[in-house]
Chain A
């Protein structure tokens, strides 16, 4: 730790931390103009969005349900970005993870104890996602193939593989028998369902309804999320556990140190004797692994069967990038950030119903958030440069948790 970090004032930190927040507000301000041009009152639309996402037991539960894949995907993206690799392929990695997870789940059937079965399914999803991420990683390290482009292509390939499997080998026999041929798989056996929050609460003895306990207002909604039947499943706890694990991995292990070092300065890392190419492949493999894990959790936690690939991935691969960037590429920042953007997705849906604003507006706003957040980097760096030039002491960013995102320019050149 250097002197310069310690002497950083509280206000400096506060301004740095609030810049991404300003970026999001800026994106929403532009979104408000778009809404206004559509003849919709932006305040009413945003109110419908916030109330829909956070105002009630079911809205809150849906928000947390959507934050699960976002969190896992964003963790993977953060690992890749930290190593200087831009992984746009989470969408495809999630799809292939979900496909293999479904396949393994259907093979296991109901002969296996649920807990062991779920672990095997999660491992299958993680494995397949890792493979899908390792391919662009390897191509980048060995042949210099731009990983942004190759991961985008891998997304398109994954979608087609999914359609092929779901129309052919993996289709639900019931669909064939009924002649409807809708491309989805059979339902996984019920014993392979991830326990929901209400199941956990019951096993812990919380069986009363909020009403019976005399809880009122928002407190009763929060109690409802935890103990009453909602769609919220234990994948949420799993994702938070993973975020903590990734934090330990990136900042408390040698491999994590190597990943961040390669991202910050590949040339210096090579000079220091690190295996830069291997680290690039590893970071993409881990990145894909988390996206694949997200796919597997979606299957065992929420859908319990595989259906149209793009409906399962649901843009999480892209929203996950936004969540990762807004979370400062930091595992612990990604937890609240994923919940926020999960809420945005749920709120967009509610807004569509209440105000007849197409939900695709959310995609446009997310794009603006990305543009605004990467633009604010400029001001953060400018402020840091000023501080460095004021205080002559140098800092080793590698030892600091609040390291800004590495630039990938050097790796991509």
Chain B
């Protein structure tokens, strides 16, 4: 009997639609072509309802007019985490399906930030990608910088603050921010796919930019803009042994690489996330390429990543300094366009990630999480106090 693999996507996140694309291209399409697993699509709607139906295995379902209405015809799922991950279609004759492996395809908050991973850990089910800690740290751009900086990795100078801090100490924060080198980048710390990010050149733009970022998140990062910039990104895959894809250079169409550049401009339907916006491999010095790959691997290790990540870098062309900019624990569409250039087909990519998930799970199973204790016997109400 085939193992069941549940692909969880959608979710209550600004990147809901991107998640639908990632889930289908390449994950579900490759799993179906691979024909080794029973593929169970698990879709979390924007209102938080969970659904599963074979029709959701097709991207075309989400492209058809009135699909959100059609979705409501499906039964809402219940989930059991009782030593295994089980989805249940409730009713007079409720049907339960045990999921053997989970493939999270959720971007952004409530999915990529470690919360889903925590749920899956509780269920004791193998899942693809980074575990709780790595996901949570990588999701917070400020925290990522703090962790990497502490391990000697170069990051651009930055200031971070919460919404309440901004309200209370705006002037002090502005004083700190002005010590950075303009132009500056403002980022909501928890969002991916470049949502809510702005590049600012003066104080007016800065304040507007912060307001925009605070609209999306309650924690904001302001950082230096690197001069003579070369922006590159590198997908990596593995657990202990790390495999790198090609160093990719986004070809900036706008002043910086935003959501629409990544997902909406150009590209072909079959490629999922846009594949025409970048140069693969990046046409930069071989020495830089090698350094980027090494830095990528170190970052992967420091954050304790597993499965797949994408590390973004900023390079100062003149000084040759390479800064780690951010880490994405679920690259859009798994950056399969890059892996294909690196000689890894979608099927190989997806299958490898499933194997890595099982290996990571097996390794964790070897750990001891409980031990025999007689502490309970020693407790006898108020006598214990004696």
- The answer to whether A and B interact is no
User: Which B residues fall within an 8 A CB radius of A?
Assistant: none
Which A residues are closer than 8 A to B by beta carbons? Answer: none
